[in-house]
Amino acid sequence: MTEKEALFEYLLRRADDSLILGHRLSEWCGHGPILEEDIALTNLALDLIGQSTEWFQYAAKVEDKERDENDLAFMRIEREYKNVLLVEQPNGDFGKTIIRQFLFDHFQNLLFQRLMESKDEQIAAIAAKSIKEVRYHLKHSSEWVIRLGDGTEESHDRVQDSLTDLSRFIDELFYQDEVDELLIKSGIACDTSEFQKEYRKNIQAVIDEATLSLPEKLWQLDGGRKGVHSEHLGFLLTELQYMQRAYPGMEW
């Protein structure tokens, strides 16, 4: 694997995480539990899709095969998407969406803090810009975890179930392989194992205050970074890609 190939893969992973999560959040449009949260979730979606656009534009430039950000976002098939499994999980109820967001926001925050120091200028630029928005996401999801966890008996039970369920996808956030190894060597990527302890400490602090608990030793799932996804991604892509597949080459 050349550095260029590794960089392209690395950028797809970043772009796909944001695109797929952004898409999931956009599904809440018009269905939020209250107006303010409908707007909040779609605002988050917009931020994430904007970030994914930046990652895709850079990936297209690196690939240098005449594909642009739209081709990459909408015209690949499931095994070519490299997002983690967490972000493709269905929204479930509001609490599940919040838990998913909470687990991902804390990761993105720590990841972007380090990517701001990347030797790759464009990666550093995207990280520096995105982290300003991620800080708002983080506050929003963390505060909701506390409100729902330390809420009514029903809200507590529901988010506890969601946390137990989605905790199976935490380890994959820190998955690294030859793509990362190559780029860590040249100072382009960061070693996620370096902030794994900090991540666990940060989420645990919020989980404790929310009177929730993180189950120990649950079987962890992965495969997303290699394009091996849960069945959910197929259904997600049929919606995401519908317009581009039905009307190839369409433009607004």
Partner 1 sequence: MTTTITAEDIWGILEDVKDPEVPVLTVVDLGVVREVNHIEDNQWQIIITPTYSGCPAMQVIEEDIIKRLKEEEIEANVKLVLSPAWTTDWISENGKKKLEEYGIAPPQDEVDKSVLFGAKTVVPCPLCKSKNTKMISQFGSTACKAHYQCIDCKEPFDYFKCLK
Residue numbers at the binding site for partner 1 (CB under 8 A): 36-37, 39-40, 43-44, 46-51, 53-54, 121-122, 124-126, 128-130, 132-133, 135-136, 138-140, 142-143, 146, 206, 209
State the nearest-atom distance from the C-beta of 126 to partner 1, in Å. 6
Distances in Å between the Cα of 36 and the Cα atoms of 33, 42, 43, 190, 249 are 9, 10, 10, 36, 36
State the nearest-atom distance from the C-beta of 104 to partner 1, in Å. 16
Start-to-end C-alpha separation, the chain: 38
For 111-114, the CB contacts below 8 A with 24+ separation are: 111/190, 111/192, 111/195, 114/190, 114/194, 114/195
Task: Between 128 and 218, name the residue whose CB sits nearer to partner 1.
Answer: 128
Task: Between 17 and 229, name the residue whose CB sits nearer to partner 1.
Answer: 17
For the CA atoms of 18, 180, 54, 84, the dihedral, rounded to the nearest 10 degrees, stands at -10
State the nearest-atom distance from the C-beta of 167 to partner 1, in Å. 21
State the nearest-atom distance from the C-beta of 208 to partner 1, in Å. 12
State the nearest-atom distance from the C-beta of 128 to partner 1, in Å. 5
Task: Between 122 and 241, name the residue whose CB sits nearer to partner 1.
Answer: 122
State the nearest-atom distance from the C-beta of 129 to partner 1, in Å. 4
Task: Between 85 and 148, name the residue whose CB sits nearer to partner 1.
Answer: 148
Q: What angle do CA 82, 220, 192 make, to 5 degrees?
A: 60
* Burial group, residue 67, by CB count within 10 angstroms (0-12, 13-18, 19+): middle
Task: Between 117 and 209, name the residue whose CB sits nearer to partner 1.
Answer: 209
* Dihedral sign computed on CA atoms, order 45, 203, 126, 80: negative
Task: Between 124 and 221, name the residue whose CB sits nearer to partner 1.
Answer: 124
- State the Cα–Cα distance between residues 77 and 96, nearest whole angstrom: 27
